[in-house]
């Protein structure tokens, strides 16, 4: 199982220079991937801008949105942004996309929250069309540069029946987001079974994300997660904040659990915007 690291694009106190230093250090440490999370209604750095900049200061490390709320953007805009990052990074981008579940993100984006599932379905088809050089409106030009053979790989986030359908029809795999390993394994098996039944070649990529904070950071780590997920209500936010892994042993245990669950890549996402978190995590993961 590969181990990636999140880049703290939504974490309190992050700066542009820190994000670039983080990307360089993560690659030097040997992590497989740099991952963003993101919302519209939160003062974080925009995901694809961050990954484009990270790609410019690195050479090898993968770049993934885990996840980006696709229906808050137009299909043409997202196709153009993703293809641009894919070209600039030499083919290292994977789009982890989700339908979203917070009305305020859609209100700020001027998009219809109630229609987000239908918008997402149309968008997934439109992305492939745009990356194949097709126009998305009659009389218009194709909106995106050529991202390269096969377009941009897509991981679908979520845990619904529609998630499985979208993964099989449009994706290269599934991302569990922040789900625990005991929930990830059974759903991953459903994804694999549907993939086989649909006659797709190979196996879907299975990805997951969990939060971490190492050293004397618990108070700041909890404060960030409670703030970021506060819109979900105090109980849910507290559950997420309490679920972050804050000791070397806890991180080793969760890595083993996700590997047992059949995950291909686990991203450990930071909750404190301090550069030494990269080094601390690398010491735990790689020794």
All domains of the chain in start order, with CATH = 2-286 (3.20.20.30)
Output phi, psi for 124, to 5 deg. Answer: -60, -40
Q: Can you tell me whether residue 157 is helix, strand or coil? A: strand
Q: Are 211 and 243 in contact (CB under 8 A)?
A: yes
Full pLDDT tens readout for the chain, 287 residues: 999 999 999 999 999 999 999 999 999 999 999 999 999 999 999 999 999 999 999 999 999 999 999 999 999 999 999 999 999 999 999 999 999 999 999 999 999 999 999 999 999 999 999 999 999 999 999 999 999 999 999 999 999 999 999 999 999 999 998 899 999 999 999 999 999 999 999 999 999 999 999 999 999 999 999 999 999 999 999 999 999 999 999 999 999 999 999 999 999 999 999 999 999 999 999 99
Residue pLDDT, tens place only, 248-284:
999 999 999 999 999 999 999 999 999 999 999 999 9
Report the 3 state secondary structure along 5-42.
EECCCCCCCCCHHHHHHHHHHHHHHCCCEEEECCCCCC
Measured between its terminal Cα atoms, the distance across the chain in Å is 16
The pLDDT, as a whole number, for residue 194 is: 99
What does each C-alpha distance from 3 to 19, 44, 66, 122, 268 come to in angstroms?
A: 19, 24, 14, 32, 7
- On whether the pTM is more than 0.75, the answer is yes
Among 59, 57, 4, 58, CA closest to 30: 4
Report the candidate in 166, 163, 193 with the shortest Cα–Cα distance to residue 176: 163
């Amino acid at each position: 199982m590969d181990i990636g690291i999140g880049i703290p694009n939504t974490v309190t106190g992050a700066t542009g220079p820190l994000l670039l230093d983080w990307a360089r250090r993560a690659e030097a440490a040997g992590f497989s991937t740099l991952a963003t999370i993101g919302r519209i209604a939160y003062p974080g750095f925009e995901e694809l801008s961050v990954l484009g900049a990270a790609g410019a200061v690195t050479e090898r490390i993968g770049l993934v949105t885990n996840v980006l709320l696709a229906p808050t953007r137009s299909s043409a805009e997202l196709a153009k942004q993703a293809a641009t990052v894919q070209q600039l990074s030499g083919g290292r981008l994977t789009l982890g996309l989700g339908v979203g579940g917070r009305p305020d993100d859609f209100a700020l984006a001027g998009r219809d929250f109630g229609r987000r599932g239908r918008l997402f379905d149309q968008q997934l088809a439109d992305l492939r069309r745009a990356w194949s050089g097709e126009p998305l409106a009659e009389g218009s030009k194709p909106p995106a540069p050529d991202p390269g053979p096969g377009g941009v790989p897509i991981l679908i986030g979520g845990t619904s029946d529609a998630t499985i359908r979208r993964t099989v029809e449009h994706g290269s795999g599934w991302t569990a987001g922040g789900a625990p390993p005991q929930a990830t394994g059974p759903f991953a098996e459903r994804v694999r079974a549907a993939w086989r039944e649909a006659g797709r070649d190979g196996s879907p990529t299975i990805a997951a994300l969990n939060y971490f904070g190492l050293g004397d950071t618990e108070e700041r780590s909890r404060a960030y997660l409670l703030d970021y997920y506060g819109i979900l209500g105090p109980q849910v936010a507290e559950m997420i904040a309490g679920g972050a892994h804050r000791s070397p042993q806890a991180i080793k245990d969760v890595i083993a659990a996700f590997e047992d669950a059949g995950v291909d890549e686990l991203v450990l996402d930071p909750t404190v915007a301090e550069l030494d978190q990269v080094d601390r995590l690398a010491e735990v993961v790689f020794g």
